[in-house]
């Protein structure tokens, strides 16, 4: 929880978008790994398909920790029952931008948006709220987005 | 938000952008209120860029409902009590 004693490990919520763009699952697992190495506890929130892609890819939960339904995560944060120190929102469509703006409004945590897809610049142009933007043209090949994340190192902030 | 499926709703707009749905409400419903993301309508926490417009038309509530894979829907639901609750917020 944000605001708890400093002895608590930092937490991060990964808000997944629609999994129709292949790089999302790969980059989510990569980001989870980087967060854990930085001492940050990651929690994933997505729809059923996005969550299942991760759960099936990591059956021994080497990377994955808690996985939540996205609607439930929004409800818990909106109701003040839970919050995170940072929130990474995956964006490749208009709905992703809406979720990121929502997280910025309901969470006290720092918002980082991870923007990708064929038309990633169109989505970046819609982002007018305070956040850190990590963006790259990435659809099937996750490496441009991985490079952008490695350069930004948002987990180190 | 699971309760949406059990509502007797009409889809006013489908697969829209968030901006399209806000513009539609402001253009088509004389009575509307602006709320912040996370605001609860029925059991739905509204997703979107602030300010989010919710339309009112008699006992009908018109509100955006966003899903990650399908964009934003504008739903129209008849509920006298919820419409009255929202109208009170305007005052």
CA B10/CA B41 separation, integer angstroms: 15
- Residues B42 and B81: their CA atoms lie apart, in Å, by 10
Is some CB atom of chain B closer than 8 A to the CB atom of A73? no
Residue in B with minimal Cα distance to A16: B68
Kindly determine whether residue B49 and residue A101, on different chains, have CB atoms separated by under 8 Å: yes
For residue A17, pLDDT over 60 is answered with: yes
CB–CB of A47 and B69 under 8 A?
A: yes
Nearest-Cα residue of chain B relative to residue A95: B71
Spell out the domain ranges in chain A.
10-138
Please classify residue A10 by burial: count the beta carbons closer than 10 Å to its beta carbon, then call 0-12 exposed, 13-18 middle and 19+ buried: middle
Q: What is the pLDDT of residue A3?
A: 47
- Report how far residue B84's alpha carbon sits from residue B69's, in angstroms, rounded to the nearest whole number: 32
Percent of chain A at pLDDT exceeding 70: 96
A6 pLDDT more than 90: no
Contact A135, A120 (CB under 8 A): yes
Dihedral sign from CA coordinates of A125, A46, B47, A79: negative
Taking residues A86-103, report their average pLDDT.
97
pLDDT in tens, A31-58: 999 999 999 999 999 999 999 999 999 9
Mark yes or no for CB contact A94/B68 under 8 Å.
no
- The average confidence (pLDDT) of chain A is 95
Mean pLDDT of chain B: 92
pLDDT in tens, B23-63: 999 999 999 999 999 999 998 999 999 999 999 999 999 99
The pLDDT value given to residue B7: 84
Query: Residue B3 pLDDT more than 80?
Result: no
ipTM: 0.91
Q: Is the pLDDT of residue A135 over 70?
A: yes
Domain layout of chain B by residue ranges = 2-90
CATH of domain A10-138: 3.40.50.10160
Would you place residue A153 in the very low, low, confident or very high pLDDT band (cuts 50, 70, 90)? very high
Q: Hey, what's the torsion of the CAs at A35, A91, A45, A39, to 10 degrees?
A: 10
| C-alpha distances out from residue A140 to A27, A49, A95, A143, B1, Å | 11, 18, 20, 9, 31
User: Would you call B66 and A98 a contact, using CB atoms and an 8 Å cutoff?
Assistant: yes
């Amino acid at each position: 929880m944000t605001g708890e004693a400093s002895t608590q490990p930092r937490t991060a919520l990964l808000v997944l978008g629609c999994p129709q763009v292949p790089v999302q699952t790969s980059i989510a697992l990569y980001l989870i790994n980087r967060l854990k190495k930085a001492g940050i506890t990651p929690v994933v929130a997505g729809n059923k398909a996005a969550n299942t892609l991760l759960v099936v890819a990591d059956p021994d939960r080497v990377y994955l920790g808690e996985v939540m339904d996205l609607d439930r995560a929004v409800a818990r944060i909106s109701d003040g029952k839970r919050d995170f120190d940072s929130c990474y929102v995956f964006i490749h469509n208009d709905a992703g931008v809406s979720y990121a703006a929502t997280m910025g409004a309901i969470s006290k945590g720092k918002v980082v948006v991870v923007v990708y897809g064929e038309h990633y610049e169109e989505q970046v142009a819609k982002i007018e709220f305070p956040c850190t933007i990590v963006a790259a043209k990435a659809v099937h090949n996750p490496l441009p987005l991985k490079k952008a994340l490695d350069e930004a190192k948002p987990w180190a902030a | 938000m699971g309760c949406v499926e059990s509502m007797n709703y009409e889809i006013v707009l489908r697969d829209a952008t968030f901006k399209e749905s806000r513009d539609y409400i402001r253009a088509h419903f004389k009575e509307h209120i602006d709320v912040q993301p996370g605001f609860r309508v029925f059991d739905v926490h509204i997703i979107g860029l602030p300010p989010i417009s919710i339309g009112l038309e008699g006992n009908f509530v018109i509100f955006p409902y966003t899903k990650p894979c399908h964009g934003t829907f504008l739903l129209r639901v008849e509920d006298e009590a919820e419409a009255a609750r929202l109208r009170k917020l305007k005052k």
